[in-house]
Amino acid sequence: MNPMVRIGLILFLVIFQTTIYYAIPALNHFVDLLIIFVIYAGLFLPFLESIVLALVLGALMDSITGGLFGLYLSIYFWIIVGLRPFVTILNLKNAHTLRLLLGIAIGFENLMLYIGTVALKQETVFSSESFRGIAFQLAWTLVLGPFLIGLLHAADRHFTANAQSK
């Protein structure tokens, strides 16, 4: 897949998650598409390209959220860096392996966002509502995540093969 297409995909995912999810209340705590993309990029794309994509995604997210600037940048950057050692060790075709990585990534993301919130406010803001939201999102991501990562990977291979044949 062309890098520009990948950046287009990032834009699409950000728009989808901030507008469609908002317009359809049932999707409020649905799959975290951005983390899925970051995991996919970290596992299947060249390291440098995945870092650039993570930074672009992080900058876009930091622009539209109300948190600290740089928080999403840091989260996505460290997920990509953290995934690197596992790329050669783990069997990436195994759905359970992907679920484990997705679970860790979502846990890390929410921990960082929580720390960011506390840093701004200097008091704890954790609640059962937040916990429920994260739990729903985690459950959906664990169920659909491996399938969506597979889909991204297949689309990527298809586009790359097409480009090479031309």
Partner 1 sequence: MFSKKMMLIAGVFGFVIVNIIMLFVSARYVSSSSASRHMGMEIVSPLQKSVTFSIHSLRSIWMHYFYLVTTEKENDNLKKMMAKCIHDGNQCNETELANERFRKILDFKHATRFNSISAEVIGKDPSQWYKTLVIDKGVSEGITKGLSVVVPEGVVGQVIDATDHYAKVLLIIDSNSAVDALVQQTRAHGIVKGDAEGRCQLNYVSRKEIVNIGDAVVSSGLDGVFAKGLLIGKVTDIVRNKSGIFQDIEVSPFVDFDKIEEVLVITNPPSQSRFR
| Cβ nearer to partner 1, comparing 43 with 75 | 75
Q: Which residues bind partner 1 (CB under 8 A)?
A: 11, 14-23, 25, 28, 34, 59-71, 74, 77-78, 81, 110, 113-114, 116-117, 119-121, 123, 125-130, 133-134, 137
Q: CA 64 to CA 14: how far, in whole Å? A: 10
CB of 164: closest distance to partner 1 in angstroms? 31
Nearest C-alpha neighbor of 148 from the set 156, 74, 61: 156
Q: In terms of residues, how long is the chain?
A: 166
Q: Residue 119 CB, nearest distance to partner 1 (Å)? A: 6
Minimum separation from the CB atom of position 8 to partner 1 (A): 11
**Segment (H or E) for 33:** helix 33-44
Q: Which lies closer to partner 1 via its Cβ, residue 74 or residue 97? A: 74
